[in-house]
Structure 1
Amino acid sequence: MPNRLFLSSGDLIADRRYEFARDLHLKGDPVAAAEVLEQAIEVAPNFASAWFELGKIRVDLGEPDKAIAAFQNAVAADPDDRHGAGVRLMQLGAAPLTDMPKAYVQSLFDQYAPRFEAELIERLNYRAPAILFKAVIAVRAAERKPAYFRRAIDLGCGTGLGAAAFAKNANSFIGIDLSAGMIAEARATELYAELEVDDMTAGLRRQPDASADLILAADAMVYVGDLGPVLRETQRVLAPGGLLTFTVETHDGDGVIMGKGLRYAHGAEYISGIIAAAGLQLAHLEPASPRTEDQVPVRGLAVVAGKT
């Protein structure tokens, strides 16, 4: 999902040139679009949106060095990096793999919230919650335990699709999401006893020890590079016998990379190792595609881990 954020330069001429350039790009003339964006930047050198758009065009034109310079200028013009230029730099190998800027994730999902469910379900065939529900049922059946959870936490809850999948199997749900727009959509479902605007790790830090029987993250860990901090907090918050379940996107190698879709992809060995390091026991790790993009299933993993 593209970030459609626009930050005005404060100069009407520069802003109009930006809009003209975007039209040119959409009409299939990236060379002319780049020229017009450069004109806009001459008028307004700290025009973050123009630098970011220019970086995307340079990528399309096969000019990675020029793209890197444009994205670096976009970050310099907007240190909060609401466009996510730093994420593009990670993808291009021009910046170390770090956490995504919070302002970028908030901006992305605040824009996306009103059309989130329609976009995911109708266009992307989103299936992460159903995959996780099936995995949890299978793990509980193997353990000969009921798949019922007194208190559940939905990390990166979005509009509530994860809680909806588990609604009949959990007595009470807490939702945590960085986007206030998503939280507003989730509140309308009336599925949650509590909702908090925060990132996953910080939200978990406010939860009491051994207070949750289920923690789930449907298609949310793809926005977290290093899973260590959130998994350590999960281990603390889970009650003995409790389960963590989540999806990730994956790749053939080990470790973590920035994937083509501007989301992190985690290797299977990395997942196994980081779960063990957090003091959790891996119960289920299977290939599973959480969504379809460009008519191709996205490669992913479904994970269930327990606290013994």
Structure 2
Amino acid sequence: MKPSPIDWRARLEACGFEGAQYVPPTFGAQVLWSWREPLAAEAALREQLEQQPEDKDALKTLISILRETGRASEEAPLRRQLHERRCRDLGVPEAQRNEVVAYLEAAETGSAPPERSSDAYVTALFDVYAPSFDDSLRGFLAYRAPERLMDAVRAALGGRRELDVLDLGCGTGLAGPLLRPLARRLEGIDLSTGMLAKASERGVYDALRAGEITSELGAATTLHDLIVAVDVLVYFGALEVLFERAARRLAPGGLFAFTVEKGTEPGYRLQPSARYAHHLDYVRSCAHAAGLRAVVEHEDTLRRQAGQPVIGHVVVLTGT
């Protein structure tokens, strides 16, 4: 990290800040940036990163300053550096890091996204988060997607039980206790072995296996009365293949139930959260192409993010 020739402490003092010589660089940067002194704030952050190269917060703030001051050519390599650190922290295998960095870049910059998230990213992310996943979702994120989806499923089933149920992207099995009363047999699939270990502890699944859900659906021969995907399609942009394969695995009268985050642009969009949002018209188009029709379809709050509600669509499909 190249140091800046600007004396940011002198700039603090010139603006009337006493004791600038004792101010840590990160705090100095915050003060200077709040005073709209971007070059001095940048100098403080570069000093901090010289002293502590692993300070991700300082790097993020520096990236923001470069972006807001129109210095994209300087921002881009630092942004890539930040994404590479994230890959390293998550334990993404080195061979897959470039594709994960490209995915995170697309999420942050709004450039053309891939059709789906990287399996390496999803696996690493949830292996790391598995131990704290439930507490984080239920507490800080006020996660209610399983309950919202199961309300819709029960309405569509009209009292039917003793079903063969497949939980796609089952994670730690938060939906498992809600699905169990409906199920003769309950199976779960997930990419993350860490999440599957937590799901197994619940003792409600008849079978759990690690796998990528599109591939698993394509290779399977078993039919299911109910297939659910709670908060899973946020890691898929294009839905055509997934819907077509899910439709082929439905028994006569079977249901495919899922949630998506609401998109306002046509098709799908990779959001800064690194999760996809889908326009409802696109979801309907994919369903129609797969020979499916909606029996339940409504908006609801699925969780919260940064203190704001995340609005999504709760959808239950069946064969046409």
TM > 0.5? yes
- Please state how far the C-alpha of 1:269 moved relative to its aligned partner: 0.6
The question of 1:240 aligning with 2:252 is answered: yes
Paired positions, count:
273
Structural RMSD (CA)? 3.0
Aligned counterpart in structure 2 of residue 168 of structure 1, from 181, 185, 196: 181
Deviates most, 65-74 or 90-99: 65-74
Amino acid in structure 2 at the alignment position of 1:118: D
- Percent sequence identity is 32
- Please state how far the C-alpha of 1:88 moved relative to its aligned partner: 2.7
Determine the structure 2 residue equivalent to 1:221: 233
Structure 1's 114 and 25: CA in aligned 2 closer, same or farther, altered over 3 A?
A: farther
Amino acid in structure 2 at the alignment position of 1:198: G
The question of 1:136 aligning with 2:156 is answered: no
Contact 1:213 1:239 in 2 (8 A): yes
- Please state how far the C-alpha of 1:94 moved relative to its aligned partner: 3.4
The question of 1:270 aligning with 2:282 is answered: yes
- Please state how far the C-alpha of 1:56 moved relative to its aligned partner: 4.0
1:152-231 correspondence to structure 2 within 5 Å: 152-209=165-222, 211-231=223-243
- Please state how far the C-alpha of 1:39 moved relative to its aligned partner: 8.3
- Please state how far the C-alpha of 1:52 moved relative to its aligned partner: 8.5
Deviates most, 297-306 or 273-282: 273-282
Amino acid in structure 1 at the alignment position of 2:311: R
SS in 1 for 2:124: helix
- Please state how far the C-alpha of 1:81 moved relative to its aligned partner: 2.3
Amino acid in structure 2 at the alignment position of 1:239: A
Determine the structure 2 residue equivalent to 1:61: 65
The question of 1:286 aligning with 2:286 is answered: no
Amino acid in structure 1 at the alignment position of 2:76: I
Amino acid in structure 2 at the alignment position of 1:128: A
The question of 1:254 aligning with 2:266 is answered: yes
SS in 2 for 1:299: strand
Could you give the per-residue CA deviations for residues 105-130 of structure 1, whole angstroms, max 9, x where no partner exists? 11110111001111101111111111
Indicate the structure (1 or 2) with the bigger Cα radius of gyration. Answer: 2
Contact 2:25 2:47 in 1 (8 A): no
Could you give the per-residue CA deviations for residues 141-198 of structure 1, whole angstroms, max 9, x where no partner exists? 3xxxx33252111111011111221211111111111111001101111111111111
Aligned counterpart in structure 2 of residue 88 of structure 1, from 104, 115, 133: 104
- Please state how far the C-alpha of 1:228 moved relative to its aligned partner: 1.4
Deviates most, 31-40 or 250-259: 31-40
SS in 2 for 1:203: helix
Structure 1's 226 and 185: CA in aligned 2 closer, same or farther, altered over 3 A?
A: same
**Long gaps (5+) in structure 2:** 1-23, 31-40, 89-93
Amino acid in structure 2 at the alignment position of 1:122: G
Runs of 4+ in 1 over 6 A off after TM superposition: 23-28, 38-41, 50-55
Could you give the per-residue CA deviations for residues 252-284 of structure 1, whole angstroms, max 9, x where no partner exists? 222111123221000111111111111211222
